């Protein structure tokens, strides 16, 4: 089905780690070109802004803690420490940084806000007492979602626009399932692919390219892909798990070293996210085999005030990541990789049991 407009629920922003300038959320800038209208409920806008403020505030506090701990560990001289402390004093406050971040993204995507003040209060009250979705037994606090949904539906109806809502919320999905004006999609990449015109040639080209690489051809393209992917993978911050019966621990350094990169070459392993005049943006799935190294400090107490030692650990791991690649192409044997980035990668690494191994760390 062809949709005239698209909207996002708050849970999609959270799923994408509020990363507005990279990954799939950045791809919404294509709607500024007028292929469809991009709207957000004012409720969603304010919820996203609140989450961005929380993230900015946490980032600032983490920076302050890191600078303080670096001073306690005597990693820098007092002059350098003073310069580092000024970073937190000179930066924007969390609210201003979050507001600027969201405003910039909304302008770049030509996002329109559907105001909550336009909500049909009589309908809202009737839904509440009839326990209609998103109000359910035990979930009668869902006024924000209800306001967002009825105002979005009214916007779609008054503008004669068929609206696609990207959401993972069961209440939103149930409400839209009964709406004539709003449908839902849980996967962002599938939703974006549905807004692209003339994707057949791009899909044929990608399928041919992946097939050629699997058969050992187009090694120039594969080499460039591997080189850029390696740089991206090295920047991933992994979720590290480890176990120690005797001590508390912190990760003080880590590194991910890709050993093998393999493209998944099936017809359902990629999606065309955006078509452009001279190419397209494709989301592909890649399998990675990598060695992950980490340095741990071990402490005798939960406050991490008494370090008893350190250890360096190394494990091999395998994981999959989604890749967004901008490809300039006319034919499978004449295409280049213009840009590449990972789409919200998540890597979990379990180091198992760890113990302090380095002598001479007593303080």
pLDDT tens per residue across span 188-225: 999 999 999 878 888 888 888 888 888 888 889 999 99
For residue 246, say if its preceding peptide bond is cis, omega within 30 degrees of 0.
no
Q: What is the mean pLDDT of the chain?
A: 88
DSSP-derived letter for residue 161 is -
Using alpha carbons, select from 14, 7, 3, 5 the residue that is nearest to residue 42: 7
**pLDDT given at position 246:** 87
Residues 174 and 50: beta-carbon distance below 8 Å: no
* For range 341-353, the mean pLDDT: 92
Does the pLDDT of residue 91 top 80, yes or no? no
* For range 284-312, the mean pLDDT: 90
Does the pLDDT of residue 166 top 50, yes or no? yes
Does the pLDDT of residue 288 top 60, yes or no? yes
Confidence band (pLDDT; 50, 70, 90) for 126? confident
Using alpha carbons, select from 318, 229, 327 the residue that is nearest to residue 276: 327
Asked which of 52-56, 79-83, 292-296 is least confident by mean pLDDT, the reply is 79-83
CA distance 290 to 274: 30
Residue, of 248 and 72, whose pLDDT is higher? 248
Whether pTM > 0.75 for this model: the answer is: yes
CA distance 295 to 125: 57
Instruction: Give Cα separations from 229 to 113, 199, 265, 274, 339 (angstroms).
Output: 36, 25, 17, 20, 11
Q: Do you know the residue count of the chain? A: 363
* C-alpha distance across the termini of the chain, in Å: 67
* For range 1-26, the mean pLDDT: 94
* For range 243-269, the mean pLDDT: 89
CA distance 228 to 177: 42
Does the pLDDT of residue 101 top 80, yes or no? yes
- The tokens for 147 are 């306001």
Does the pLDDT of residue 361 top 50, yes or no? no
CA distance 110 to 39: 8
Asked which of 156-160, 329-333, 334-338 is least confident by mean pLDDT, the reply is 329-333
Residues 59 and 19: beta-carbon distance below 8 Å: no
Confidence band (pLDDT; 50, 70, 90) for 182? very high
Residue, of 140 and 16, whose pLDDT is higher? 16
Confidence band (pLDDT; 50, 70, 90) for 362? very low
């Amino acid at each position: 089905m062809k949709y005239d407009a698209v909207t996002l629920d708050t849970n999609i922003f959270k799923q994408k780690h509020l990363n507005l300038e990279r990954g799939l959320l950045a791809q919404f800038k294509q709607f500024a070109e007028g292929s469809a209208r991009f709207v957000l409920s004012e409720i969603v806008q304010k919820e996203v802004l609140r989450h961005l403020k929380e993230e900015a505030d946490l980032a600032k506090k983490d920076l302050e803690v890191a600078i303080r701990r670096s001073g306690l560990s005597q990693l820098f001289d007092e002059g350098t420490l003073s310069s580092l402390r000024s970073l937190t004093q000179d930066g924007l406050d969390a609210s201003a940084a979050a507001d600027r971040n969201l405003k910039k993204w909304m302008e770049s995507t030509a996002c329109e806000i559907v105001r909550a003040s336009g909500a049909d209060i009589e309908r809202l009250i009737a839904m509440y007492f009839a326990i209609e979705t998103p109000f359910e037994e035990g979930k009668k606090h869902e006024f924000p979602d209800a306001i967002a949904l009825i105002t979005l539906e009214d916007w779609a109806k008054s503008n004669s626009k068929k609206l696609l809502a990207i959401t993972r919320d069961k209440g939103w999905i149930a409400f839209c399932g009964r709406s004539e004006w709003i449908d839902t999609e849980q996967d962002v990449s599938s939703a974006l692919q549905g807004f692209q015109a003339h994707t057949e040639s791009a899909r044929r080209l990608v399928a041919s390219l992946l097939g050629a690489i699997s058969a050992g051809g187009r090694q120039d393209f594969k080499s460039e892909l591997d080189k850029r992917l390696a740089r991206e993978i090295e920047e991933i911050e992994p979720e590290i798990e480890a176990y120690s019966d005797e001590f508390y621990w912190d990760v003080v350094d880590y590194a991910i070293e890709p050993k093998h990169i393999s493209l998944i070459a099936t017809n359902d392993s990629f999606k065309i996210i955006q078509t452009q005049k001279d190419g397209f943006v494709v989301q592909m799935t890649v399998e990675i085999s990598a060695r992950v190294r980490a340095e741990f400090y071990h402490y005798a107490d939960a406050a991490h005030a008494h370090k008893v030692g350190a250890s360096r650990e190394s494990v091999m791991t395998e994981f999959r990541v989604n890749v967004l690649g901008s490809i300039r192409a006319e034919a499978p044997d004449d295409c280049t990789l213009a840009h590449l980035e990972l789409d919200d990668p998540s890597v979990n690494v379990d180091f198992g049991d760890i113990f302090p191994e380095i002598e001479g760390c007593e303080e």
